[in-house]
Amino acid sequence: MTQTSAQTAHYVPADLPTSIRHFIGGEFVDSVGGQTFDVLDPVSNQTYATAAAGQQADIDLAVAAAKDAFDNGPWPRMLPRARARVLNRIADAVEAQDARLAELETFDTGLPITQALGQAQRAAENFRFFADLIVAQADDTYKVPGKQINYVNRKPVGVAGLITPWNTPFMLESWKLAPALASGCTVVLKPAEFTPLSASLWAEIFRTAGVPDGVFNLVNGIGEEAGDALVKHPDVPLISFTGETTTGQTIYRNCAANLKGMSMELGGKSPAVVFADADLDAAIDSTLFGVFSLNGERCTASSRILVERSIYDDFCARYAARAASIVVGDPHDPRTEVGALVHPEHYAKVLSYVEIGKTEGRLLSGGGRPAGLPERLARGNYVSPTVFADVAPTARIFQEEIFGPVVTITPFETDAEALALANGVKYGLAAYIWTTDLSRAHNFAQSVDAGMVWLNSHNVRDLRTPFGGVKASGLGHEGGYRSIDFYTDSQAVHITL
Ligand code: NAD
């Protein structure tokens, strides 16, 4: 690790690659046509590397390698225990280099280093979890006495196309790679073009762990080029996608021609509902974490806070004071709580919502670039944690996903009004309910449009639980056996007795 003069220069990890290549059939390669794109770091907004920009020809090669490994290689035919050993070695390798992974992820994404470290460790846990799961996997058998035996013959689907976004890229890739590989599929990963750095690290990790060549393939590139070619490729029977709802809709249409299996983890605008009887200290802690951790670039961010009128003023005052004290700074500094947003394009989008918010709500905290950033951070994509109160449900900042450190607060009078506000957006990913009334909490969970609900609880979840959204937030659920179900076919075999 190097740091050029802490006071005056921007932190740059040692041995940073200057070119990021595809990984196809066990080899690092450039694009067939030689195309590249620039990769920026979000603190200096300077190009630090060029990445191979995959086109149809590169996707064709990657899919052919994955298909050959699936049709002729050992991976889909290995015993679950043998595959699990490889997956555990992957987890070991990720854990062993978690600090380096976090450092590179932080440099590429602008995420605070302590949070990037947690995400790297979570990536290891994903591999360990799916290793355990496939060893414990049991499938159904049915007997019709004297007539038939029926059993489920679970088979990996084939070449899985994995398309991932730029927020917590390494961890989100692991959330797809681990179950796909555990199931015996071979894969082509197309990571987000804003943040290709950490994805390239999988290649060496997998090779060292004993993943056969061709099982893992990586093609970098622009979504509309490399991503589109992967989605439309006839030898890729399923696509697991995480990203924006509008991109998901395009992919959905493009999968239709080949009737592909699809898993869609899409955008969110999740409510946190705080009733007057809630443990207010815990609710404030958690709702701050919910929207300002990971720079607010979190799909399950509690970006709309709904607060019962009788505690509204107190909540707003305390919340705004806490938001104002959040440490915004160098992503590599362990004290930093909000780092730099991922890319100038995204930064401009978030800032534009902050300006819209000034016309739609009452600004309590933040509201633009933080004042007094040191010179070494002056060109970074920084946005102060921003809080708007009195935001009407018709406001754009209430309805639209901002995906940055910006939160709205809206009062409500009754449970029914709270529910109407919570459900009054097109999204339905997560909901957070704060109340000490147990029956209200469960009734609210029952009625709220959300794939995942946290009652008096931080955004922490057990890997066995379903993950996914309803309405415009997604299609299908991943997590636990649901992920294995997605990457496998359950063939029914019937035998006459
Ligand atoms: P995005 O939709 O712009 O891009 C996601 C990926 O899709 C990228 O790899 C991109 O290159 C690719 N892509 C873009 N157009 C494509 C096309 N036409 N065909 C194939 N691939 C294409 O999303 P983003 O900006 O990278 O990520 C942020 C979004 O992701 C937010 O909306 C966030 O809520 C969502 N997200 C959802 C979850 C979840 O689990 N529900 C998790 C993380 C992020």
Model confidence over 219-247: pLDDT tens digits?
999 999 999 999 999 999 999 999 999 99
Which residues, listed in sequence order, are joined to residue 363 by a DSSP beta bridge?
A: 388
Q: Whose CA is nearest to atom 23 of ligand 1?
A: 243
Residue 6's pLDDT band, with cuts at 50, 70 and 90, is very low
Identical fold, 19-266+473-492 and 271-455? no
Rg, Å, the chain Cα set:
23
Q: Which ligand 1 atom minimizes the distance to the CA of 254?
A: 19
- Tens-digit pLDDT profile for residues 79-133: 999 999 999 999 999 999 999 999 999 999 999 999 999 999 999 999 999 999 9
Residue whose CA lies nearest to ligand 1 atom number 39:
265
In angstroms, what is the span from residue 40 Cα to ligand 1's centroid?
Answer: 18
Residue 306 has pLDDT above 60, yes or no: yes
CB distance 428 to ligand 1 below 6 Å: no
Q: Is 2's pLDDT higher than 60?
A: no
Q: What is the C-alpha separation between 302 and 298, in angstroms, rounded? A: 9
Please report the pLDDT score of residue 10 as a whole number. Answer: 82
Atom 11 of ligand 1, residue of closest alpha carbon? 223
pLDDT digits (tens, 9 = 90+) for 363-409: 999 999 999 999 999 999 999 999 999 999 999 999 999 999 999 99
**Helix, strand, coil share (%) of the chain residues, nearest 5:** 40, 20, 35
Q: Considering the entire predicted model, what is its pTM?
A: 0.97
| Best mutation site among 242, 350, 463 for ligand 1 pocket (most ligand atoms within 8 Å of CB) | 242
Separation between Cα atoms, residue 342 and residue 423, nearest integer Å: 29
Residue among 241, 299, 465 to mutate when testing ligand 1 (max atoms within 8 A of CB):
299
Percent of the chain at pLDDT exceeding 90? 97
* ipTM (interface pTM): 0.97
Domain ranges of the chain: 19-266+473-492, 271-455
Return the pLDDT at 5. Answer: 38
Q: Is the CB of 221 under 6 A from ligand 1?
A: no
First to last CA, the chain: 67
Class of the CATH-defined domain 19-266+473-492? alpha beta
Quick check: 481 pLDDT over 60?
A: yes
- Point out the ligand 1 atom lying closest to the alpha carbon of residue 221: 11
The percent of residues in the chain predicted with pLDDT above 70, rounded, is 98
Q: What is the mean pLDDT of residues 434-462?
A: 97
Helices (H), 97-237: 98-109, 113-136, 169-182, 201-209, 228-232
Q: Is the CB of 250 under 6 A from ligand 1?
A: yes
Give the closest residue to 204 by CA, choosing from 125, 99, 109, 89: 89
Domain 271-455 CATH class label: alpha beta
Pocket test of ligand 1: the residue of 247, 297, 304 to mutate, having most ligand atoms within 8 Å of its CB, is 247
- What separation in Å is there between the alpha carbon of 282 and the centre of ligand 1? 32
The CB of 166 under 6 Å from ligand 1? The reply is yes
Encode burial over 109-137: b for 16+ CB neighbours within 10 A, e otherwise.
bbbbbbbbbbbbbbbbbbbbbbbebbbee
Nearest atom, ligand 1, residue 166 CA? 26
| CB 266 less than 6 A from any atom of ligand 1 | yes
Q: What is the mean pLDDT of the chain?
A: 97
Measured from the Cα of 231, ligand 1's closest atom is: 20
| Ligand 1 closest atom vs CA 474 | 41
Residue 9's pLDDT is: 77
SS3 29: strand
| Cα(191) to centroid(ligand 1), Å | 9
Q: What are the pLDDT digits (tens) for 187-218?
A: 999 999 999 999 999 999 999 999 999 999 99
Q: What is the pLDDT of residues 60-72, one digit of tens each?
A: 999 999 999 999 9
**Mean pLDDT to the nearest integer, 458-465:** 93
224 lines ligand 1 (CB under 6 A): yes
Ligand 1 atom closest to 299 (CA): 34
Residues designated as active site: 265
Distance CA 90, CA 208 (A): 8
User: Is the C-beta atom of 474 inside 6 A of ligand 1?
Assistant: yes
CA of 366 to the centre of ligand 1 (A): 27
> Does residue 226 have its Cβ closer than 6 Å to ligand 1?
no
Q: Is 231 in the pocket of ligand 1 (CB under 6 A)?
A: yes
| pLDDT band per the 50, 70, 90 thresholds, residue 7 | low
